Amino acid sequence: KAGVTQTPRYLIKTRGQQVTLSCSPISGHRSVSWYQQTPGQGLQFLFEYFSETQRNKGNFPGRFSGRQFSNSRSEMNVSTLELGDSALYLCASSPEGTGGTQYFGPGTRLLVL
Amino acid sequence: GENVEQHPSTLSVQEGDSAVIKCTYSDSASNYFPWYKQELGKGPQLIIDIRSNVGEKKDQRIAVTLNKTAKHFSLHITETQPEDSAVYFCAASTDYKLSFGAGTTVTVRA
């Protein structure tokens, strides 16, 4: 099976802009989770979607949002970008939800200037 | 929320020696404990996991132990090889969220 894919792999934006990242889960996986990875804060949970519904959300401001489509593909959006949003954004898919085994994609590296 | 602490932050071992990484967690409701390996420029790769009804699990050179009473779990890598050099993360799952430790950078010296 193909692994989790994320697009784009690299992105450069300026402060105030918005960005949309995409994630395609492993075939058959209905749960998709998003994480932010930074050198200072490490890996932090953003949110998880299962069958197009957000089941859980981490402690991030409302500028961070996501959605999931009927084919389980997911997108996350960050509006009004800040310098501190520069990070590696990781998507993970699971056949059982975040309580189950999660498989990560390669991530999208976002740089905010 | 869940708080996961991981030690040490860096670990240098001679090829062929063993490496041990330890983690503690705070939420007694956590019931799933995976370990991930992350190489430069890649996403975390699941290497082994353990659930709260199991005390120990082994997969070739890698083993994980869990002590639910003490709320700590450990990763053991035996006969280390240069390709084991990477950053390792422990995590604990509660309420459908994965909470990660800060990571351990493992360097295997040839």
Pairing of strands A10-13, A108-112: parallel
Distance from CA of A48 to the nearest CA of B (A): 8
A11-48 confidence digits (pLDDT tens): 999 999 999 999 999 999 999 999 999 999 999 999 99
B9-46 confidence digits (pLDDT tens): 999 999 999 999 999 999 999 999 999 999 999 999 99
pLDDT at A107 exceeding the cut of 80:
yes
A87 part of contact set with chain B, CB < 8 Å: no
Nearest by CB to B97, from A98, A103, A106: name it.
Answer: A98
B97 by Cβ neighbours in 10 Å (0-12 / 13-18 / 19+) ranks as buried
Nearest by CB to A56, from B32, B89, B95: name it.
Answer: B95
Peptide bond into A8 cis (omega under 30): yes
What confidence score (pLDDT) does residue A96 get?
A: 64
**Beta-ladder partners of A90:** A35
Report the candidate in A55, A25, A37, A74 with the shortest Cα–Cα distance to residue B97.
A55
What confidence score (pLDDT) does residue B53 get?
A: 79
What confidence score (pLDDT) does residue B73 get?
A: 97
Average pLDDT over residues B47-64: 93
Pairwise CB contact (< 8 Å): A59 & B1: yes
CA distances from B1 to A43, B25, B46, B68 (A): 15, 10, 23, 17
A63-106 confidence digits (pLDDT tens): 999 999 999 999 999 999 999 999 999 999 998 654 578 999 99
What confidence score (pLDDT) does residue A99 get?
A: 56
- Check if the beta carbon of residue A75 is closer than 8 Å to that of residue A54: no
- Check if the beta carbon of residue A76 is closer than 8 Å to that of residue A85: no
Exposure string (b/e) for B10-28, b if CB count within 10 Å is 16 or more?
Answer: ebebeeeeebbbbbbbebe
Distance CA A2, CA A29 (A): 12
Average pLDDT over residues B60-79: 97
Distance from CA of B93 to the nearest CA of A (A): 6
Give Cβ neighbours of residue A101 (< 8 Å, ≥ 6 apart).
A94, A95, B34, B46, B49
DSSP helix/strand/coil, B84: helix
Pairwise CB contact (< 8 Å): B93 & A35: no
Pairwise CB contact (< 8 Å): A98 & B98: yes
- Dihedral sign, CA of B7, B11, B13, B16? positive
Nearest residue of B to residue A98, measured between CA atoms? B96
Average pLDDT over residues B70-77: 97
Distance CA B101, CA B85 (A): 18
- Check if the beta carbon of residue B51 is closer than 8 Å to that of residue B59: no
What confidence score (pLDDT) does residue A2 get?
A: 86
Given the structure tokens 């401001």, which residue do they identify? A61
Report the candidate in B13, B75, B94, B87 with the shortest Cα–Cα distance to residue A88.
B87
